[in-house]
Amino acid sequence: MKKTEKTYRIMISGGGTGGHIYPAIAIANAWKERYPEAEVLFVGAEGKMEMQKVPEAGYKIEGLPVAGLQRSLSLSNLSFPFKLLKSLNKSKALIRDFAPEAVVGVGGYASGPLLYVAQGKGIPTLIQEQNSYAGLTNKLLAKKAKAICVAYPEMDRFFPKSKINYTGNPVRKDILNLEGKREQALSHFGLDSSRTTLLVLGGSLGARTINQAILYDMKAFEDSGYQVLWQCGKFYFGEMEQKVQGSGLKHIHVKEFIKEMDLAYAAADVVVSRAGALSVSELSLVGKPVVFIPSPNVAEDHQTKNAMAYVQKNAAILLRDNEAVGQVKATVDALFEKKGKAEELGKNIRNMAKENAAEEIIEALERIIG
């Protein structure tokens, strides 16, 4: 990437989940790579994970007291107007003091007040929408945004077509090159090179249904010559580890969290995963056959919509959450029984990958700054 001596002051706002935070950090890293002297300030929601993850990535962050409206009747909704007003006032002060050339919103509560204030002051704003179904905050902000970067085609049903840039989602650079890492990966995780490897991902906190489904099938998997590398998540690790140890099975490798995702992907022959926007984008770059089990507990059922964008292109398999327990092994077996099916899915999902998402987003940002 070409470096330049110019300096720019950029604010990046949003968060709440890793699906918002990691793309935001990737955008900041790409911007700093091109403009090493640039200043970047993040704005997040107080008490949310961005307040920890952003400083860990080396950036300064300010927190807003904003919180989301609960869909059910809740006492916390009574404080919503007061928190919103405080967040708008703090956003005005932050923008006045930092004087950004542009503001980027990645979705989540905190991007709402900051981008609203920036748009009111005529500061160029860019929205990055990770999902195939646009979030409420981004839909509300789209009207006055200068550019909207999306990860899926046909997003003009949510946003003005003239503003859309089809960039994909920025992902970790270490997974772009898995070539030659398989032996290292098998050794790192203590896996058997003669077995078919199933990688199971339920997110950093875990996914109850996926964990229950793997528990149900784990003996059958081992008996049939598979091995399972299983990220079960923080909430479930104690229980899952105990059950695996009690089973006496030798080829079910349960982990709370897998940090070395490049090695996990390199070891995998097939992946079972939730269908969060970031997971889907990463898996398209990995180019392995995937069984998506979308979480039903997300706004507008957007994970199912994310997965369906791939299923419709014969690039993944969908297994619904309420059907998953008792069906994962049968689904994986069927994938390998049909000659060439696994290779076909891997090739098709790879064809949908967008490798240079972060660079394309910062090019859109350069255009709106002018």
Q: Which residues carry a binding-site annotation for UDP-N-acetyl-alpha-D-glucosamine?
A: 17-19, 131, 172, 204, 258, 277-282, 303
Encoded tokens for 280? 């889907």
Cα dist from 105 to 31, 137, 139, 146, 198, whole Å: 15, 9, 12, 12, 36
Count helices and strands in the chain by DSSP H and E runs: 14, 13
Cβ-count burial of 276 within 10 angstroms (0-12 exposed, 13-18 middle, 19+ buried)? buried
The residue to which tokens 């772009």 are assigned: 176
Q: Helices 341-351 and 328-337: crossing angle, nearest 10°?
A: 100
End-to-end CA distance of the chain: 19
Residue type, 352: M
What is the biggest distance separating any 2 CA atoms in the chain, rounded to whole angstroms?
Answer: 64
Strand-pairing partners, residue 42, are 12, 61
CB 232 within 8 A of CB 202: yes
What φ, ψ does residue 106 adopt, rounded to 5°? -110, 10
Residues in binding site: 17-19, 131, 172, 204, 258, 277-282, 303
